[in-house]
Amino acid sequence: MPPVPSPASQNPMGQPNAVHEALKALQSPDNAVRSASEAALAGVPLPQLLPALAQSVREDGPSPADQHLAAILLRRCLQSRWGEVEGTLDAAEVDALLQRTLEALLQAVLESADGMVKKSAADAAAEVWRRTQTRSLEDAPCAVVARWLAEPELGQLATATALFRLFDRLCEDEDMAARLAQTHGVNVARKVALTLQAGRDGGKEIEGCVAASLEVLVTCVSSLPSGSPIRASLSDLAPPLLSVLLANPSPALFVSAQQLAEALPQFFAGHHARLLELVVHIVGNREGAHDADDSDDVKPVALRLAVSAIISAPKWARKNLSIVKPLLEVLAECCGRVTADEETWSLKDREEDEEDDKLSQEALALATRVAERLNNNAVLEMLLHICTSFLASGDSHRQLAALALLAALLEEEHSSLSVVAHSDEIVSVCLLRLQSPQARLRWAALNCLCCLLQREERDGEVTEREKNLLGNLLGSLQTETNNRCRRKGLQAVAEFFSNFAGSEEDDGGKAMDAAVYGQVGAQLDAPRLRDDGAASSAETGKGEGKTEMKKRSGSDGKQRPVGGQKLAPYIDTALQNAVVPLCDSSDAQTQELALAVGSVLAQVSGQHFQRFFSFFMGAVRRLLSVDFASFLQTHPHGCSLLETVVEFAGALAAAVGMEVFAPDAPWLLERLVEIQNVCSQGTADASLQATAMEAVGVVAKVMGGAAVRFLPAISPIVLAKVRQHVECNFAEAIAAGGEAGAKISEEGRISKVNITDKSGRQTVISINTAAVEEKCAALQLLGTLATSVAGQVAPATAAEWAAAVTAESRAQFALIRKEAFQALPAIVNCLSVSDAAQFVRLSREALALVVEALKENNARHLSDFVLPAATRLVQNLSTEKERKEACRGLAALGERQDAGDGLAAAETVFTAEERRAFLAQIFEAMGRFVIPILTEEFEILASKEGEDDEWENVDEDEEEKAEAAAEAYDAVMQTAGALFKLYGAECLPAFDAHLKMPFGALLAHEQANPGGKVSALCIFADAINYAGAEAGKMYGEVVLPAALLTVCPPSEALVEDDVFAISAAAYGIGALAMHSRETFLSRREGAVEALTRALQSPVLQTDACRSAADCAACALLKIALLYTREVGEQSATIFTELLKRWFPLKDDTQEIDASIELLTNMVTENHILLQAASAKDECQQVLRALLADKAKEAETAKDEDKKLLATWKKARLQKALELIR
């Protein structure tokens, strides 16, 4: 039987019942009826439909549900079809249509008997009003609200609620919001007071009215200037609001009160104690309640209100911690609130936040927020004291709460340092809880240890406490029966060993220092690992997913030599007692995590892991020798297991190196390519393909040039994934109510995002997120392959890669554009040796692309990936130029036949005229990018100058904005520095026109962004260093005073920005000393004194500040060498002592290279300082040490450019040593 046509399709809309019938049909359970009605309505001209819908809202005949839907439809039609009206009616007709529609809607607001209809009519009336060509306070909606606000009584509650809502919606017009708030603010406050007075009696109707009134209050506060007397008077409403919250503790009211506290920090001035008492009473008295609709909904929002109020009054809170303490205790108590029983909890497969324990998660977040925003040791000590008292109690819930809170404080950057100071006590209490019969407590203790291990900075010997901790962790893994605790224990072991990892940037990868690993006595025999370990895992996999393992180096990324206790036997024990046995676990996630721990142990052991390689590579071979298509079909969690094995295989290859890995490399690459083929058939998750691509990159990096022969098999698969189309569809839907927000759902490879705005507009976005993930992984792999095989890629292949990546740099999604821009410089650079002409062409095209992208992408994307790509592309040209210079230099010394003939690419990529145009364009684009950011920051600084610092606006985005601005300044500085290094003084006109002003302002403003000040010092120093005397004359007086003020450490406790600032200031002083003699001479004595004081500072004697010390020492060396006569007799002493204490430099690569240049030139020119025997001896010792370093680098560097440049520096040092003898 065919579907029954909708009544709406049978009746023209002009007939009285047509709209009513259409509205009923839209609510039909029959899809065909609804679709037919929607089509009929869509076919009615909007000038005819709007009045009809407005009449349906106003008339008494339709049901409230029909009237409500009519108002929603009217609003949506205005949003989606307004163009029809503008295209068919003249201005007078449009105005008449809107006025007629408004009249009906406003009548519904005032006269409808249903509160829901009143509110939807108010929303629709505001939408209609926003379509009028001119808007004023005399317009009908504004006049209706104004008349009501002037009345002495509140009136009917439903009408009052609707009129509050109408006022709020009218204020969505930014131009009118300030005028409405300024004109009616006093009356709004009076009306809110009447509402709060009525709200003490409670009830759902008055609750909605109070919530609406508070929303209007927030809108008024946001629209009024900070000095407005109306704002100041609003705190009189705090007492009645607190009375309403006590009488009617509704979630909606607490949410509105929180918004008010955040918008107007002074609102609760003088009433904070009462507010905290109220919240503690509400949350504390309901602790034992089980009514989820009441207690559990109110507690989180009540706590949020209290926290927002005290962090917006930080001074009051710090002075009144005794009043704040009960709130902190209640927060801590709620951290232990759990719902599921232990058996249900134990069966959970994933180690994610407990969805059911929303209160505990909220309490943890709020407690850490208090610690962060109050930023006070007394607050942290109070929280730690609460944790101590909870742990001393016999209450397991309190113990659980304490452990959860400690872990959360350790995870938070601002509080972690203070908590880590108590690490011995934390380790003790956690180890004690490992003996608990309750699995949840054991898990919480292990989680706390994981967080502690992530935050601890390793330095010095392996301590007895660490030895005891590791022993206990391994022992607990042997006896543990709960899978969740096993997984968390494995993570703790991984975090322990990760603390000993080397820097990922070192040639040795993440391997720990040899002295740390320290074989005990002779070479230990490899442990007798069972040959069936992990082999059965392919057959026993159960469970879901896998846990991400955070593998990281120490906090400063440097290897630290460690004496005393050695770690080799403990790695053996960890493998024997934890990794291998748990690879046989029947729980798939435990199995996978055991392999992940094995990956960490392989990475930190480096080549020492070679003795375990055959066993684990055997397991990898067995697991990856399966028929992938069949395995993925028959094993429900096969994807997750294969991902872990693939990651483990990559870690093994990276750990042991090509020498050991070579026999297995071809087989592994073939299996990874086979996984790609299977995934391409759509039989696996996108995450497996992405992981396999990442592993291909790791293996290719280990293999280097040997991976070239596999490119014909790999490249087509990767390019196909790069070029695949990503579907993204937008659709609008009718929202029949519900809260504003976003909901995400997944179905197959498609993710859907359903966004509902404040006015009820609903947008559904469907994205093929699997394709996005695969594209990103493929782009990453192209970049890795280009870096790994470098000049051995066939030019045609590299050009094909470049074309594919360039196309994706204009992709719709920023994630894809980011990966494309990150891969492009490496792909272009792999042609710098093999095909100079192609390198020049692609460099020119890529730089043009960057200039275009600088104009089209938003600010965050420019900082994140566009400018970094520009920097790397320019650095490619600089490196190619340096390579040619090194070849010519080595040829002149008779150490190389290839003299690097021909012009450098930097000179041919643009003609002189094109280069001037390019520099003008890129500097102008950077100026357009950075000036609005600077302007916004300075406006914020100006607005704060008149504020009372007793109060703080709770702006969660402010710190993030400051960090984003610092990243923007840094990105511009890096690109400008690379351009100055390549083109020198040619950059000055464009720099002076577009970047001098913003970066000069950063230097001049005392309260400017700290990261911005560092970037400003660096950018001017780069200009002077690479553009020479002309830049020194232009900017010397700008840089030198700021640099001299900055170079001395401010205190013994430095933050990261302080260290960077000292480095930048010292670099600037050194650049001026070399290139601006006239400017520098007048301040020479002050510079020597400042640099000497800086080097004598205790903080610069530490490893953490060594890079700053390097810059200061190199600057002082420049002064000693270039101003010997001016410094006088002290020159020889300064020079000798400087070399003895600080040289050779250790951390700052640029300053190390500068010192080599200075010292070799000094010897070549037979500098007067070398006449002193002590100075000559010290210089010889430094040159020998530098020679040893460069000889080692030339021998071990994997990158051919690094090897060549190191060889050239080695040759220069050898020549200098011959001359100095």
Encode pLDDT of 185-200 as tens digits.
999 999 999 999 998 8
Six token digits for residue 99: 């006025």
**Which residues are registered as beta bridge partners of 732?**
763
pLDDT mean over 939-967: 70
Whole-number pLDDT of residue 458: 65
Mean pLDDT, the chain, whole residue set: 83
Query: Does residue 1075 surpass a pLDDT of 70?
Result: yes
Encode pLDDT of 1116-1150 as tens digits.
999 999 999 888 888 888 899 999 999 999 989 99
pLDDT mean over 892-920: 84
Whole-number pLDDT of residue 290: 35
Query: Does residue 99 surpass a pLDDT of 90?
Result: yes
Q: Are 154 and 162 in contact (CB under 8 A)?
A: no
Where is 1149: in which H helix or E strand?
A: helix 1149-1164
Q: Is 524 helix (H, G, I), strand (E, B) or coil?
A: coil
Q: What is the DSSP secondary-structure string of 769-821?
A: HHHHHHHHHHHHHHHHHHHHHGGGS-HHHHHHHHHHHHHHTT-SSHHHHHHHH
| Strand ranges across the sheet with 741-747 | 728-733, 762-767, 750-756, 741-747
For the domain spanning 286-340+355-451, the CATH number is 1.25.10
Query: Does residue 760 surpass a pLDDT of 80?
Result: no
pLDDT mean over 618-639: 84
Whole-number pLDDT of residue 278: 93
Widest CA span of the chain, in angstroms? 111
Whole-number pLDDT of residue 519: 33
- DSSP conformational letter for 27: T
Q: Report the C-alpha gap between 1017 and 1004 in whole angstroms.
A: 11
Lowest model confidence (mean pLDDT) among 122-131, 322-331, 451-460:
451-460
Q: Model confidence at 531, in pLDDT bands (50, 70, 90)?
A: very low
Six token digits for residue 581: 């046995």
- Nearest one of 25, 72, 28, 18 to 48, comparing CA atoms: 18
Whole-number pLDDT of residue 39: 86
Highest mean pLDDT among 303-312, 604-613, 853-862: 303-312
Q: Model confidence at 1064, in pLDDT bands (50, 70, 90)?
A: very high
Encode pLDDT of 1019-1034 as tens digits.
999 999 999 999 999 9
Six token digits for residue 89: 């009616």
Round the CA-based radius of gyration of the chain to a whole number and report it.
Answer: 35
Q: Report the C-alpha gap between 143 and 110 in whole angstroms.
A: 13
Q: Map out the domains of the chain as residue ranges.
A: 137-262, 286-340+355-451, 728-767, 1075-1221
Where is 744: in which H helix or E strand?
A: strand 741-747
Q: Are 479 and 434 in contact (CB under 8 A)?
A: no
Q: Report the C-alpha gap between 848 and 842 in whole angstroms.
A: 10
Whole-number pLDDT of residue 352: 55
Encode pLDDT of 985-1032 as tens digits.
999 999 999 999 999 999 988 888 999 999 999 999 999 999 999 999
Hey, CA dihedral for 34, 37, 43, 48, is it positive or negative? negative
List the end-to-end C-alpha distance of the chain, in Å, as a whole number.
106
Distance of CA 122 to the CA centre of its chain: 40
Whole-number pLDDT of residue 532: 38
Where is 673: in which H helix or E strand?
A: helix 665-680
Whole-number pLDDT of residue 539: 38
Lowest model confidence (mean pLDDT) among 42-51, 745-754, 1061-1070, 1152-1161:
745-754
User: Residues of the chain with pLDDT > 70: what percent?
Assistant: 85
3-state secondary structure 911-967: CHHHHHHHHHHHHHHHHHHHHHHHHHHHHHHHHHHCCCCCCCCCCHHHHHHHHHHHH
Q: Are 445 and 434 in contact (CB under 8 A)?
A: yes
Encode pLDDT of 654-698 as tens digits.
888 888 888 898 899 889 988 888 887 765 677 888 888 888 998
Whole-number pLDDT of residue 847: 95
Q: Model confidence at 953, in pLDDT bands (50, 70, 90)?
A: low
Q: Is 1116 helix (H, G, I), strand (E, B) or coil?
A: helix
Whole-number pLDDT of residue 266: 86
Which distant-in-sequence residues (6+ apart) come within 8 Å of 41 by Cβ?
8, 22, 26, 49, 73
Residue type, 70: A
Query: Does residue 904 surpass a pLDDT of 80?
Result: yes
Encode pLDDT of 484-512 as tens digits.
898 898 889 888 888 776 555 444 455 54
Q: Report the C-alpha gap between 273 and 283 in whole angstroms.
A: 15
Work out the burial of residue 68: count CB atoms within 10 Å of its CB; fewer than 13 is exposed, 13-18 middle, 19 or more buried. Answer: buried
Query: Does residue 481 surpass a pLDDT of 60?
Result: yes
pLDDT mean over 895-920: 84
Which distant-in-sequence residues (6+ apart) come within 8 Å of 1131 by Cβ?
1120, 1123, 1124, 1169
Which distant-in-sequence residues (6+ apart) come within 8 Å of 164 by Cβ?
191, 195, 209, 212, 213, 215, 216
Residue the block writes with tokens 């609001």: 241
Whole-number pLDDT of residue 289: 39
Whole-number pLDDT of residue 570: 73
- DSSP conformational letter for 422: T
Encode pLDDT of 864-873 as tens digits.
999 999 999 9
- DSSP conformational letter for 203: -
According to DSSP H, which parts of 6-90 are helical? 7-10, 18-26, 31-42, 46-58, 64-88
Whole-number pLDDT of residue 1002: 94
pLDDT mean over 879-895: 86
